[in-house]
């Protein structure tokens, strides 16, 4: 009886132990699953926090590349830059710009303008006498112009200086110091696409205006420009001829019938017109006085006519500029 009781007690104990073991197993799985879930959630939270705290790198961003692109001409004011880095005594720099459709660059005309009237008058006189004497101020301006033209494209590849000019205080007298002839388009287009005079040199415009006003024949196929230095004979075919007291300009067509105009500029919108033929007769009568040619040419020099040059029609001026051939 005792043995039977003990057997039943042992069997009962085993049943309770096995039952408890089975009841714990699911709880362990739940606990472990919860722990793993918490670990995963924690990892996700850490990853999310890290991604929020660490900013994305700016390197490689198109937006930031655009911000630091120094090739864009709108990044800075060219006129201010030139005034700061290429300053000249008693002068300031003004610019005119346009978009060159052929090259995709922004071209500039740079004008050096005196800040004082008295300095303008002094420099104008020096420019007018530059063919007779060397002036340090003019050499300095020319060297500065060269530096501008060479260094600006290195600073910004989208910029190009087409020409550098000296312009008087009143704007009536202009001297081209340097021009990039090789790359020059020789024209500027306005908003309507028509050509304007703003980029032609003052000399080109002057030659065209003088011929438009005084040229005997307007229907020409070319306009020849000859610059005659001071001291050259009025009649190169006669050794007794008087000589020019100043540099003069002779304009002529390609044919004798086109006629010619010989003049000197005053830099104030007026010119001195010489009544000189394009060519003198080679076969003169032998019985003429030996001083005849000297007196005739002296008279031509002494009796010049002062003429105001009208600005003329812009389209006609441009047409004549395109016909010019400077000798």
Buried b (16+ CB within 10 A) or exposed e, 288-319: eeeeebbebbeebbeebeebebeebeeeebbe
Closest CA to 212 of 324, 83, 320, 117: 320
Render pLDDT for 147-193 as a digit per residue (tens, 0 to 9): 998 888 888 888 889 889 888 888 877 777 887 766 655 444 444 44
| Predicted local confidence at residue 313, as pLDDT | 83
Closest to 120 in 3D by CA, of 82, 163, 169: 169
Averaged pLDDT for residues 126-135: 72
Distance of CA 126 to the CA centre of its chain: 26
Confidence tier at 124 by pLDDT (50, 70, 90)? confident
Contact 301, 234 (CB under 8 A): yes
> Can you give the pLDDT at residue 4?
47
Cα angle value 250/252/256 (rounded, 5°) = 130
With H, G, I as helix, E, B as strand and everything else as coil, classify residue 263: strand
Sorted by sequence, the CB contacts under 8 Å of residue 66 that are 6+ apart come out as 72
- Report the chain's terminal Cα–Cα distance, integer Å: 148
- Indicate the helix (H) or strand (E) that contains 228: strand 223-228
Total-model pTM: 0.45
Radius of gyration of the chain (CA): 44
């Amino acid at each position: 009886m005792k043995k039977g009781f003990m057997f039943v007690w042992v069997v009962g104990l085993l049943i309770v132990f096995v039952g408890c073991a089975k009841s714990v197993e699911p709880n362990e799985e739940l606990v472990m699953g919860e722990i793993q879930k918490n670990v995963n959630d924690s990892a996700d939270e850490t990853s999310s926090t890290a991604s929020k705290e660490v900013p994305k790198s700016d390197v490689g961003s198109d937006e930031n590349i655009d911000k630091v692109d120094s090739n864009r001409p709108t990044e800075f004011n060219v006129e201010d830059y030139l005034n700061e880095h290429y300053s000249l005594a008693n002068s300031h720099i003004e610019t005119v710009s346009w978009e060159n459709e052929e090259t995709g660059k922004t071209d500039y005309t740079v004008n050096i303008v005196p800040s004082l009237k008295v300095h303008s008058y002094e420099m104008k006189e020096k420019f007018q006498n530059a063919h007779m004497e060397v002036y340090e101020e003019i050499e300095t301006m020319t060297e500065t112009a060269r530096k501008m033209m060479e260094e600006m494209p290195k600073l910004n590849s989208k910029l190009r200086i087409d020409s550098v000019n000296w312009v008087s205080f009143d704007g009536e007298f202009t001297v081209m110091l340097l021009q990039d002839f090789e790359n020059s388009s020789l024209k500027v287009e306005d908003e309507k696409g028509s050509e304007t005079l703003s980029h032609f040199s003052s000399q080109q415009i002057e030659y065209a205006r003088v011929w438009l006003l005084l040229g005997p024949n307007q229907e020409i196929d070319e306009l020849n420009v000859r610059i005659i230095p001071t001291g050259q004979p009025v009649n190169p075919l006669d050794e007794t001829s008087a000589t020019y007291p100043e540099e003069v300009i002779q304009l002529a067509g390609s044919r004798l019938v086109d006629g010619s105009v010989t003049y000197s500029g005053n830099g104030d919108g007026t010119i001195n017109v010489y009544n000189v033929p394009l060519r003198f007769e080679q076969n003169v009568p032998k019985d003429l006085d030996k001083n005849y040619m000297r007196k005739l040419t002296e008279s031509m020099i002494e009796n010049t006519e002062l003429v105001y040059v009208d600005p003329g029609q812009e389209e006609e001026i441009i047409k004549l500029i395109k016909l010019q051939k400077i000798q």
